[in-house]
Structure 1
């Protein structure tokens, strides 16, 4: 999952033509990117092997890749000092995290994925949210941005069929109310497919907003893209 996160961070920064910087002052933060991904599109890439979480094979859904804060210039905030990740505090959320924010890496890293997300991104919001509110915000925002339901409501389903990228965006806007930024990758056969969907949230982590910065340029998507099954 770190590989996926680094890929999107790099792409976002490239398209924005802004540098990623470490920020210690959270008063500069403006908003969050809420990034969700279709793990079926990650796992079917050539040379990629996925492992199910300890809880077993999950139900098909978009899952959280990260909740990443950025400042008023569009720069990402990351690694904002050392903070102790308290596993005991997070335990009541683990059932939801396993379902909605899982790692499919091999070997399974389980809690290490959440530790990584907190240390890299959550520490930058600790004066605003704190550890538990940070994870709760991501989970609650994910439920508000129910991407799979939005797509299925428009007849767009994960069945290996080809769909118009514009139709996918339109379905998300119609149901969720905000313009998404969609990133694609390619499966083992070389077909362009939906991979990550990014929306924005305000700095309180409570509500979705129109993204102050939308990356411009090639997002890896063709005009028609595949929506693969979740797992095979």
Structure 2
């Protein structure tokens, strides 16, 4: 009987240890391989994005704006992470006045009833806090701002003579981005209009290493139809 009790205790101990390790791996903050820096076309988002919640901001900014900076992994699994929640107190500190002013331009909400601050809070609590063991909240948003200034999609396209209001081959749009990120593979997302029988460029994703510094190849995904022209609108 004593022997049986010992065996049961050991089995329970092993099971408990696996449960603890499993919980630690699920809840550990910051298990990610790279960042996705996501920019969106306000025109395409307002026309086709997010159902009835699109707002009627006019005139729309004729630039790509930030959708988010997302810690990601190559398995495409979304693992829950533990991190500090977004702090409006921190964002409103006087030392962040310049940062907020830049984000009001570069990271805007186009959803009815959602302020820019609401958008930043949502993105940080959904994605940004997963990297808070490497970046503070302020550092995270500052990094996103720096990436936008360096890799504005509309500027990269313009520098390769690709102008809004026209359609292009998907490969031409991809190559325009590649030429500024060391040949690394970006990810372009399109929204198809069944009425117009067209596809519009909705988002441009550039991937970076786990410090959000050096461009890396984005995972291969087919989000645009390479057989059809892609309309680039702002």
Interval containing the TM-score (normalised by the shorter chain): 0.7 to 0.9
Q: Which residue of 1 aligns with 2:28?
A: 25
Unaligned runs of 5+ in 2: 1-24
Q: Which residue of 2 aligns with 1:10?
A: none
Give distance in 1, aligned partners of 2:74 and 2:176.
29
* Mapping for residues 160-175 of structure 1, pairs under 5 Å: 161-175=166-180
Counterpart contact for 2:192–2:198, Cα < 8 Å:
yes
* TM-score, L = length of structure 2: 0.75
Unaligned runs of 5+ in 1: 1-21
Structure with greater helix share of residues:
2
Q: Which residue of 1 aligns with 2:38?
A: 35
Aligned residues: 200
CA deviations over 1:147-202 (Å, ceiling 9, x no partner): 1111112221112x211111111111113333211110024624101111111112
* Mapping for residues 1-232 of structure 1, pairs under 5 Å: 23-26=26-29, 28-45=31-48, 49-52=54-57, 57=59, 59-71=61-73, 73-78=75-80, 80-81=81-82, 83-91=84-92, 92=96, 93-159=99-165, 161-177=166-182, 178-187=184-193, 189-205=196-212, 207-211=213-217, 213-216=218-221, 218-223=222-227, 224-228=229-233, 230=234
The structure having more radius of gyration, on CA atoms, is 2
SS at match of 1:166: helix
CA deviations over 1:95-126 (Å, ceiling 9, x no partner): 11111111101123331111111111122111
- TM superposition shift of 1:71: 3.4
- Cα RMSD (Å) of the superposition? 2.4
* TM-score, L = length of structure 1: 0.76
The 1:71–1:214 alpha-carbon spacing in structure 2 relative to 1, beyond 3 Å, is closer
Counterpart contact for 2:41–2:65, Cα < 8 Å:
yes
Give distance in 2, aligned partners of 1:132 and 1:39.
25
- TM superposition shift of 1:222: 4.3
CA deviations over 1:128-163 (Å, ceiling 9, x no partner): 10211111111111222121111112221112x211
Give distance in 2, aligned partners of 1:189 and 1:137.
38
SS at match of 1:189: coil
Q: Which sits farther off after the overlay, 114-123 or 173-182?
A: 173-182
Counterpart contact for 1:77–1:121, Cα < 8 Å:
no
